[in-house]
Amino acid sequence: MATRERALEIAVDGRTIAGTLIAPDTRLPGVMLVHGWDGSQVQYLARARALAAMGCICLTFDLRGHARDKAHRATVTREENLCDMLAAYDLLAAHPAVDSNAMLVVGSSYGGYLAALMSALRPVRWLALRVPALYQDDDWLVPKQQLSRTALAQYRAQVQPPDSNRALAASNVFRGDVLLVESECDDIVPHPTIESYRSAFSGARSMTYRVIKGADHSLARPEWAENYTTLLLNWFREMLGNAAMALPLPVR
């Protein structure tokens, strides 16, 4: 077992004596789980508990404009929600038991999009993205709720090059491990959007791509949700056992 050592001074009788404190290096991977638009952290609590049981410290949270802050749903922007992501990450990474070199970010749909963006701003070793959404950069500061659904559908129906989009550009420079999960019958995040992300992650240390057969965007049937949970847990169990975990993270 790896250990940590810290030199210290022990006070005794008005003087100090030198000592060395040696303790097991018990820092654990940090896992941040991000819900999609119109979702909440409740959707990820069960998965967070399962990941915690594997020896991780997990954080779920509600993006602004959701759950108890739903009154601001019509005005919240992607900029504000990305700031939510960064604040949550910093809180988790600062936990004394978290290994800040071993951070997993799990995101679905809108949360997957934000996770991809955040990977360019903070050290992330693993990214697990389920049906990550894609948005144009031009209207970044427009409230999310006011974005044209028709324009979004048209944009997502075409494969986009990495240099055309902030989230794809961030994905293109990501050097960690990626799990990318598609729903076969998704009418919100169609296959071309998934292909945009797959192409963008060309420099990833590893890429695991899976399709949940017959599933819709929200995983409405329990068996689809269970399938995804199994995929996520099995993939991350493999990542934890991989020797690549010892490699240093790229500097952000």
Q: In which band, very low, low, confident or very high, does the pLDDT at 165 lie, cut at 50, 70 and 90?
A: very high
Q: What is the mean pLDDT of residues 85-109?
A: 93
User: pLDDT tens, 43-83?
Assistant: 889 999 999 999 899 999 889 999 888 889 999 999 999 99
- DSSP assignment of 102-145: EEEEEEETHHHHHHHHHTTTS--SEEEEES-----STTTTS-GG
What distance in Å separates the CA atoms of residue 220 and residue 134, rounded to the nearest whole number? 21
Domains along the sequence of the chain with CATH: 26-242 (3.40.50.1820)
> Which of the two residues, 20 and 224, has the higher pLDDT score?
224
Phi then psi for 250, rounded to 5 degrees? -65, 145
